[in-house]
A and B are shown apart, each in its own frame.
Chain A
Amino acid sequence: MGELIGLAVSTVGAAAESGGGGGFDWWLLLWIPLGILGGLLLIALLVAGVILILVPAGIVAGGRGIFGWAVSGRIRKRAKRRLEETSSQYESACESAQKRIDAYNLQKIEVVTTTIGRFADWMVRNKLNVNRLAHDAEDVVLIDAIQDLPQSAMSSEEIAGVVLKAGAGVIAAGMAAAGTQAAAIAAVTAFGTASTGTAISSLSGAAATNATMAWFAGGSIAAGGGGMAAGGVVLVVITAAPAVAILGFTAGILGSKARTKSKQFEADVEIACARIKTLIDLREAGMRRIDELSTVLNGLAKRLDSATDRLESLEFDADLHGDDFRQTMLLVRAIREVTTLHVIDPTTGELTEMSAMLMSRYR
């Protein structure tokens, strides 16, 4: 600003000198106070613009940013709670499914050792060679393999980007504030007058500093102004205003971004929860497969018991009772086939036939 005014003065001086050897156009000197006045007016307008328009806007932005952060925090907290609840439901569904599978395994072992065992004992009693097949009890463990749920929708790069931008904003605000203050001080020093009526530019050291500070408050207290302290406050306002505005806008940007990211996180969590609930329902439905096998095994075991009852009631003669024996053996083989069906996939921990479907659709 000082340079601009200096340029105006030198231009006017040059014009005056070149105005012809005849006379000096003194009226041109009027441009000097006008230039000074214009410069001061421009500074005042800039300061007023920053303080009256941009600062409130920055405060509003900052407020919205803080509100955005608060909302974002609430959304995340709510989403995390929901995820925990659903995971806990999944765990209890797994637990009850495991209990059902354990009960079916016990039933299989019981049928093989008791029902088939009883028939085997009958065979031994009737002097038949028996090769008791060891029951291969399944080591059934229901392995939980819930899809990895997003713990955070924010990637580290994004966080780094946001933080860097915020840092740059703060630095720029500091530099800008220093610039405003320096420009204001420079203008006052160049064109202001101290309360004593002396030009500030002609003063030096502490006297110049004090006079400059007092100028911002309309002069010294003795001269009816606010004095040095009030001037300092005005200077601080000029300094802080752009910083407040920029910080507010930066907070607004960050708050808006945080809110969007939380929204994405919440959506991801809701979808993950819906998938987990589908898994729970499907697993419950899948337990019907265990019930079905259990019913079939039970039906076959009952008939084997009846067939063994009949054999035990006979004075067994291979020629006479061959069909009874064959019939019983058919039931034993059918039971063996059913008990050796693996219902749990050891790699996925899911019901064998469901694994592929669940793996492809819900994981």
Chain B
Amino acid sequence: MSRNSIVKSVTAVGNRIDPLQLLETVIGYGHEWMVAEQRGRVERKRIDSWRELQLDRIRRQQEMLLKALELTFDERRGNFGRMFDALDAAIAEGDISQAASILESITDLAKTSPFEGLQNLELVIDDLKQPEKVWDV
């Protein structure tokens, strides 16, 4: 393609485009970039706050559950220990009905879930966060 024909074709395209419109287009893109930059900064700050909020919520929930689990298991261990002592005493005394009753308590406690209380505990905590909740005392 000769230089002349290039100039001609470029001129042909150019005749359909207004230079002022071109300037407006470039300025429009510049404006769009500035808006995108500003919007991006705001959005990134929002993401940071949201992340911190979520992480804090998970941390608090985790701490609460682990602490509650620890207390629950400690309490159950103490209960099992006392029940086995009582079972030994009942066996030593030959008190079969007492031994049967204690064995039943041991298996009942073993069957109960140490995690049930935790769900209730979470419900209580959730309730505490509800200002409209009315507590019957």
List residues of chain A with CB under 8 Å of any chain B CB: 1, 43, 46, 49-50, 54, 57-58, 61, 64, 169, 172, 175-176, 178-183, 185-186, 205-206, 208-209, 212-213, 242, 245-246, 249-250, 252-253, 256-257, 259-260, 263-264, 267, 270-271, 274-275, 277-278, 281-282, 285-286, 288-289, 292-293, 295-296, 299-300, 303, 307, 323, 326-327, 330-331, 333-334, 337-338, 341, 351-354, 356-357, 361
Contacts and interface: CB of A to CB of B under 8 A. Distances in A.
Given A172-B25, A300-B103, A303-B91, 18 more contacts: A43-B19, A176-B21, A179-B16, A180-B19, A183-B14, A206-B4, A242-B22, A256-B36, A256-B37, A260-B44, A271-B58, A285-B65, A292-B80, A293-B110, A327-B91, A341-B110, A353-B116, A357-B115
A253 B40 CA distance: 9
A278 B58 contact: yes
A285 B104 CA distance: 26
Contacts of A205: 4
Contact of A330 (B22, B30, B100): B100
B31 to A, nearest CB: 9
The 4 closest A-B pairs by CB, nearest first: A182-B14, A179-B17, A353-B113, A267-B51
Interface of B: 2-4, 7, 10-23, 25-27, 29-30, 32-33, 36-37, 39-40, 43-44, 47-48, 50-51, 54-55, 58-59, 61-62, 65-66, 69-70, 73, 76-77, 80, 84, 87-88, 91, 94, 96, 99-100, 103-104, 106-107, 110-111, 113-116, 118-119, 122
B33 A61 contact: yes
Given A54-B27, A61-B30, A259-B40, A186 B3 contact: no
A94 B17 CA distance: 67
A60 to B, nearest CB: 9
B2 to A, nearest CB: 8
Contact of B96 (A212, A327, A333): A327
